[in-house]
Structure 1
Amino acid sequence: MSVVIVGTLDTKGEEIGFARDVLEAQGVDVHVVDVGVMGEPAFDPETAADAVAEAARTTLEHLREEADRGEAMEVMGEGAAEIVRELRDEGDLEGVLGLGGSGNTSIATTAMRALPVGVPKLMVSTMASGDTEPYVGATDIAMMYSVADIEGLNQLSRRVIANAALAMVGMVTIDPDVDAEDRPTVGITMFGVTTPCVQSARAILEEKGYETIVFHATGTGGRAMESLVEEGVIDGVLDVTTTEWADELVGGVLSAGPDRLEAAGNEGIPQVVSTGALDMVNFGPRDSVPEEFEGRQFHVHNPQVTLMRTTPEENAELGEIIAEKLNDASGPTALVLPLEGVSAIDVEGEDFHDPEADAALFDALRSTLDDDVELLEVETDVNDEAFAETLVETLDEYMRDAGTAPAADATRD
């Protein structure tokens, strides 16, 4: 088993050497990738810093003489990502360990994000008790707070670094016996207000012999699903909950970025899409909502989450954006509309029930969609079981036509 340590040997050589020693004492091979730019390494690594710079199509001399710190970190992150990908492809990487402050956290996690989900990734960092989203992104990086700065070895840093190294030993040497079943996999997006739909759809899909992976549509959830589509892990998409686009358009806190709804279409895999939770934009606590939105309609979901109702104008624009994304798809694509409500609080009698706003969304979708996208309209709300059945039957038909549906004998009793 081989663990790669990504670190700056010009500033953290003592600490990296200690982590290496703990790993090797447990019988694990160690490959150190030096990403330090300014000084000489504390010891000779398996991959030197100049090789990392070259992997990013530049030189260490250029970074030292002409680049500022921010550019140097970005370049070394790109180079480290190339190095760890190559090591993984060659069978010389079972896990990645990083340790450092903000600089090496940025570099090492850039490298970690280049690896598939499931490859052990552990970052010991001074930044791990704050906002880790910029470092973790949509991957399975584990962040461990270093408590004290990683500057010299002492009774605290030795314990923390040793714990991290031993955790990595466990991850790379113990077989968890969780091999994936050989079943076609469907990615599904969910929010609290679309949970009944997703639970019904998931049960039907699994009864038919599919494996399902559900993603919480919180920005990183949507990006994670699309990343796994690009990696080939997901064979079909049931995109029930496209709410992340409302946050992207209006300025909420759960945006998945402007590329959301592109991966399945680019890869040509079957996708069935709906309008789940497009009635809302997400913010944190009520007092965190920007002043520009005062006077809008709000629903306090819980003390940490405040929802804001989208307007007819915003819904019309969302409809155009989503339709254009689906029009670009190269694989079988359907859009299914729940005409009686797009979320649990967009039905008659609930806070966000707004037929005018929903009509603006649906009309924009109808008028913008190309004929190549199948349009289905169901006289139910999104959480009605009949709606879930329509979603699943449509996706199952597409996947059977594509030859990616479960074999007949895979159907569960």
Structure 2
Amino acid sequence: MAVVIVGTLDTKGEEIGFTRDVLEAQGVAVHVIDTGVVGEPGIEPDTTAGEVAEAAGTTLEDLREDADRGEAMEAMGEGATAIAERMHEAGDLSGIMGLGGSGNTSIATTAMRALPVGVPKLMVSTMASGDTEPYVGARDIMMLYSVADIEGLNQLSRQVIANAALAMVGMLTNEPDVEVEEKPTIGITMFGVTTPCAKTARAYLEDRGYETIVFHATGTGGRAMESLIREGVIDGVLDITTTEWADEFVGGVLNAGPDRLDAAAETGIPQVVSTGALDMVNFGPRESVPEKFDDRLFHIHNPQVTLMRTTAEENAELGGIIGEKLNAATGPTALALPLGGVSMLDVEGEDFYDPEADAALFDALRATIDDDIELIEMETDINDDVFAEKMAEQLDEYMQAAGVGP
């Protein structure tokens, strides 16, 4: 097995060669994938740029002739991904690294995101001190800021690159001394304003022999859960907090995309879904909220997070969307409605208390879901222990009936 290094050898050959040397000095095998398009490689690769282009269904000559940087980066990302996936499936890839600016960061992390959680992934990048979400996505990618541009070897770049290489060695050679007990695994979604519900439900399920993985419903959290469902890591879902759909529909910053709620439905695993934090849309600092929302109701969660109350009209639309998502389920599915409020802020005396808006959400869900979706309604808010335990109990029943319970 080898550590794969993905890099543009026409511009970063010296730096990637140094990375390879540090790894090999530690007894680690290395496989270099060249993703450079314009010039000749500065060191000899194990997989050539031409082979990368071919893996993407094109040729290096065509990419050079077209001279479209965006098209070339996309193609080399696809090719590097195909090669990395093939090596992983064959048992030839132990970890993956990349070095570069925005171009190779995009290429290398595309390949990294295609590999399973747990495979060591490390990107040394000039982009690591900014918005890394486009590169990291919902995967366990470690990003190390290069401090200076990755252009030549000097006292600074040698130290940063060597640290990165040794960090990769550490991940490969130090097996964690952790006992792993095989248990059916439940994915749970949580937000700050639904934390009591998630904690109570998690305790209930763990007492009955399940392992739980809690996902923070911040967009990437929802995408991570969807991905792990498709990979077979998660056996059942307690989707308490579907707030990411409010951001997707209204235009907040913590959306998980239009595929949120699809994975459990398509794979047929048991799921119990609720309406946690659908009373809010998330933005950054107050001054970052688009002007079109100036007349709306806000709650300043902290200096970096501004919450905006959803309206009755928006909630009605959201109810229809989520209801249709549930109708597509191929496995046992329940919808749990907390009639007393969908978050800590949506209870009497708090900023987002709005029974009319909640009623619009609940009415739309009732009107949309098919008869085979089990409906649970309780006159409590979402964070009441009784509501949390009812959802967990229902999911446990589904898991036991499906033969995937403890």
Tell me if TM exceeds 0.5.
yes
Distance in 1 (alpha carbons) for counterparts of 2:61 and 2:380: 64
Distance in 2 (alpha carbons) for counterparts of 1:20 and 1:197: 49
Distance in 2 (alpha carbons) for counterparts of 1:180 and 1:250: 41
1:65 maps to: 65
AA matched with 1:256: A
AA matched with 2:147: V
1:210-359 superposed matches below 5 A = 210-359=210-359
Distance in 1 (alpha carbons) for counterparts of 2:271 and 2:162: 46
TM-score by length of 2: 0.99
1:162-241 superposed matches below 5 A = 162-178=162-178, 180-241=180-241
Distance in 2 (alpha carbons) for counterparts of 1:248 and 1:308: 13
Q: For residue 360 of structure 1, report the CA deviation from its aligned partner.
A: 0.1
Q: For residue 110 of structure 1, report the CA deviation from its aligned partner.
A: 0.2
Greater shift, 357-366 or 31-40, is seen at 31-40
Distance in 2 (alpha carbons) for counterparts of 1:41 and 1:401: 58
Indicate whether 1:20 and 2:20 are aligned: yes
1:410 maps to: none
1:134-153 superposed matches below 5 A = 134-153=134-153
Distance in 2 (alpha carbons) for counterparts of 1:130 and 1:404: 42
Question: 1:241-275: CA deviations, max 9, x gaps?
Answer: 00000000101110001110101011111111000
Q: For residue 177 of structure 1, report the CA deviation from its aligned partner.
A: 2.8
Q: For residue 43 of structure 1, report the CA deviation from its aligned partner.
A: 2.0
Question: 1:126-166: CA deviations, max 9, x gaps?
Answer: 00000000000011101000000000000000000000000
Which stretches of structure 1, 4 residues or more, deviate above 4 A after TM superposition? none
Q: For residue 55 of structure 1, report the CA deviation from its aligned partner.
A: 1.1
**Residues 194 and 276, structure 2, Cα contact 8 Å, conserved in 1:** yes
**Residues 217 and 242, structure 2, Cα contact 8 Å, conserved in 1:** yes
Indicate whether 1:105 and 2:105 are aligned: yes
Distance in 2 (alpha carbons) for counterparts of 1:331 and 1:74: 36
Distance in 1 (alpha carbons) for counterparts of 2:215 and 2:258: 18
| Percent identical | 78
Distance in 2 (alpha carbons) for counterparts of 1:243 and 1:43: 49
Task: In structure 2, list runs of 5 or more residues that go unmatched.
Answer: none
1:409 maps to: none
AA matched with 1:198: A
AA matched with 2:313: E
Task: In structure 1, list runs of 5 or more residues that go unmatched.
Answer: 407-413
Distance in 2 (alpha carbons) for counterparts of 1:23 and 1:50: 25
Secondary structure of residue in 1 paired with 2:9: coil
AA matched with 1:221: G
**Residues 14 and 43, structure 2, Cα contact 8 Å, conserved in 1:** no
1:405 maps to: 405
Indicate whether 1:95 and 2:95 are aligned: yes
1:50 maps to: 50
RMSD, aligned CA:
0.8
Distance in 2 (alpha carbons) for counterparts of 1:137 and 1:28: 28
- How many aligned positions are there? 406
Distance in 2 (alpha carbons) for counterparts of 1:181 and 1:90: 26
TM-score by length of 1: 0.97
125 and 267 in structure 1: CA distance in 2 versus 1, 3 angstrom threshold: same
